[in-house]
Amino acid sequence: MSRVLLEDAPGKKVLLLGNEAFARGALEANVQVAAAYPGTPSSEIMEALSSVAEAAGIYAEWSVNEKVAFEVAYAAAVSGLRAMCSMKHVGVNVASDAIMVANYAGVEGGLVIISADDPFGHSSQNEQDNRMFAKFAELPCLEPCNPQEAKDSVVIACELSEKCKLPVIVRSLTRLSHVRGDVELGPLPKEKRKPNLKREITYTGFPAADHHKLLHERLASIRDDLEKVPFNRLEARGGERLGIVACGIGYNYAKEALKLLNVKDGEVAVLKLGVPHPLPKKLVGDFLKTYDKIYVVEDGFPFVEEQLKVMCYDLGVHPEIFGKLTGHLPMEGEIDPEKVTSGLARILGIDYKPPEVKVPGDLELPRRTLSLCAGCPHLATFYAIKQAIRREIKGDPRKVSVVCGDIGCYGLGLFHPYNMFNTHICMGASIGAANGFARTGLENPVIAYLGESTFFHAGMPPLLNAVYNGANIKVIVQDNFTTAMTGHQPNPGVGVTAMGKPAPRILVEDVAKAFKVPFVKVVDAYNINELIETIREALRTPGPAVIVARRMCAELARRQARRKGIKITPPTVNKEKCTGCKYCITQLLCPALIWREDEKKADIDPILCAGCGMCVQICPQKAITGGSGVGNL
Ligand SMILES: Cc1ncc(C[n+]2csc(CCOP(=O)(O)OP(=O)(O)O)c2C)c(N)n1
């Protein structure tokens, strides 16, 4: 991949993932500083860019959170360089405090914010549409529809940003970030810029209204340029029956829908829209004046649909507008070619039945619940927390304690069969909410559970709050040496940067001690008894406590074991001793533990087993013995 990203071969076509195309776009746009915090579906942008950053002579980092990522990029842009930050949609919420003032302050060099939205919430807590954020922040927003446009969008956004001196938001979606497509390469810049920090652009913030006015003037200054962005295109001019306004990725679905319904060329007009904010008023206005019926195809909120209705009022025209607000597309979830086709068929009065999806042959796909990996150290910590509560508080953990969850692989703890958490909102909220539960008068002990990447991202301020205000909360940080959930990116606890340079390893326990947490202990998560006893001790000790349950992510550990030549040998279940009590299966919940119905005994799946040794420790009959693997690292 790195070779392709660095190839100086204008005109050459290459196959790129949408996110790789954004990275290539950054290189073509002469972005010299890039910062990001991982989050699906955005992560591969920084993964791709950081892998070539040194060779390209640029700087790229995984910041500790999205706010810092934005601020890093903002400072570079204020210094006259071109800069980019990328994040998932909810990351923009974290960065918003800074963005909502940087829009007033403005930039010198082009500044691009890539927001990768996740309609349906395939890998997210919500389905936020950040075109709305662009409107809220009064910033221009581009919405590319394929990897080619993804690449080009960064170049165009940089140019627009420099022209109006505002950050520009580029909205991606899961289906764009993670699709592969042909991309025609553009030229790579020959020269790097030198920073040139002009004193007069330092933002005074007073009076805000003056700067707000400046923001409006800056936004208005590129209205004509936004009309000309090549992602806006009028197609099949002259169609009488209907005009489709197809936004971003929805353009691809609209084209497919027309094909599926055999709509002849020229019968339906399509306005491909790549600038959802501010709308290219002339282009859109002319379209609204031409057609009696308009179908708005967009993923996310009815963002463009609502704006069109407002425009119609101003223009004094009354086309019928179909879309999400009229039920022709769903208000929730992701749109797809079938949904767009069904909506179009209803408008055109065509009978359409979506094709049945056929699984080849007699293949019946097994239904699986979401599950943590075999040997995952979160399984050990989940088990230990429940055991510690059972033994110390003497009751059902769900009834006698409050456990606040957080965002990471361990978020699966929310669901059956783990049933770990009472709350699960956003990064860092485990400790934040724990602070609150400790003040409700509930007598139950309050536990916050999170991973180290989340701790560094947003867990430190609420921990400080607990110490400052003396909240009686027990914080358990499972340190697995990586940001596992989003694809194993490094974080400050790992000791390496995005560009592969060694970095000081920041330990959670050192932070906790510096914050004067009175009870701080570090335990090997695979040492289950010690972990249980440490949690019990913390529960008995009043005041805030931090327990670091340290163990490498089992998937990373498997790779490391392979490299070190450590063979994974699953433990064996002594079928004489196994009473078939299912304790191991139902309590540890490791997917490598399986039930042999014919024998009515537990067994271990040798393919899944990572050789962690957790089941050996917890079997009440001592029927599981031996084995080696990641537990020996
Ligand atoms: C504001 C925000 N940014 C990014 C994400 C994406 N994300 C989900 S979990 C996670 C971090 C997980 O790392 P860690 O807490 O160390 O737990 P692990 O998955 O390694 O167990 C990230 C970055 C998010 N959900 N919200």
Question: Which tens digits make up the pLDDT trace of 529-565?
Answer: 999 999 999 999 999 999 999 999 999 999 999 999 9
| pLDDT value at residue 200 | 66
Give the per-residue pLDDT at 238: 64
Ligand 1 center from residue 366 Cα (angstroms): 28
Pocket test for ligand 1, best of 42, 117, 174, 427 (most atoms within 8 A of CB): 427
Q: Count other C-beta atoms under 10 Å from residue 100's C-beta.
A: 14
**pLDDT at position 237, please?**
64
- Number of Cβ within 10 Å of residue 123's Cβ equals 14
Instruction: Give 346-404 pLDDT, tens digit per residue.
Output: 999 999 998 887 777 777 777 777 899 999 999 999 999 999 999 998 888 888 899 99
Give the long-range contacts of residues 233-237, CB within 8 A, separation 24 or more.
233/271, 233/272, 234/269, 234/270, 234/271, 234/272, 234/283, 234/287, 235/269, 235/270, 235/271, 235/272, 236/265, 236/266, 236/267, 236/268, 236/269, 236/270, 237/266, 237/269
pLDDT at 198: 82
DSSP code, position 526: T
State residue 234's pLDDT score: 93
34 backbone dihedrals φ, ψ, rounded to 5°? -135, 140
CA dist 343 to 109, 246, 255, Å? 43, 13, 13
State the Cα–Cα distance between residues 490 and 501, nearest whole angstrom: 11
In the reported structure, the alpha carbon of residue 39 is separated from the centroid of ligand 1 by a whole-number distance in angstroms of 7
Question: Which long-range contacts link 185-191 to residues 24+ away (Cβ below 8 Å)?
Answer: 185/7, 185/9, 185/10, 185/11, 185/12, 185/13, 185/14, 185/24, 185/28, 186/10, 186/28, 186/151, 186/152, 186/155, 187/8, 187/10, 187/28, 188/6, 188/8, 188/27, 188/28, 189/28, 189/29, 189/30
Q: Distance of alpha carbon 550 from its chain centroid, rounded?
A: 24
- pLDDT at residue number 15: 98
Give nearest CA residue, ligand 1 atom 13. Answer: 483
CA-479 nearest atom, ligand 1: 16
Residue (of 301, 11, 335, 341) closest to 145 by Cα position = 335
Q: What pLDDT score does 443 carry?
A: 87
Give the residue, out of 90, 117, 420, 454, with the most ligand 1 atoms within 8 A of its beta carbon, to mutate for a pocket test: 454
Predicted local distance difference test score (pLDDT) of residue 201: 65
Give the integer Cα–Cα distance in Å for 197 and 183.
35
Tell me how far the alpha carbon of residue 216 lies from the centroid of ligand 1, in angstroms: 35
Query: Residue 202 has what pLDDT?
Result: 66
User: Quick one: tokens of 605?
Assistant: 């799946």
pLDDT for position 241 = 76
| Closest residue by CA, ligand 1 atom 22 | 39
Q: Which residues line ligand 1 (CB under 6 A)?
A: 37-39, 66, 88, 90-91, 94, 407-410, 427, 450-454, 480, 482-486
Question: Across the 633 residues of the chain, what is the mean pLDDT of every consecutive 10-residue run?
Answer: 90 98 98 98 98 98 98 97 98 98 96 98 96 98 98 98 98 98 98 88 81 97 96 80 95 96 90 98 96 97 98 97 98 97 96 82 75 97 97 87 96 94 97 98 94 98 98 98 98 98 98 98 98 98 98 97 94 97 97 96 97 97 96 89
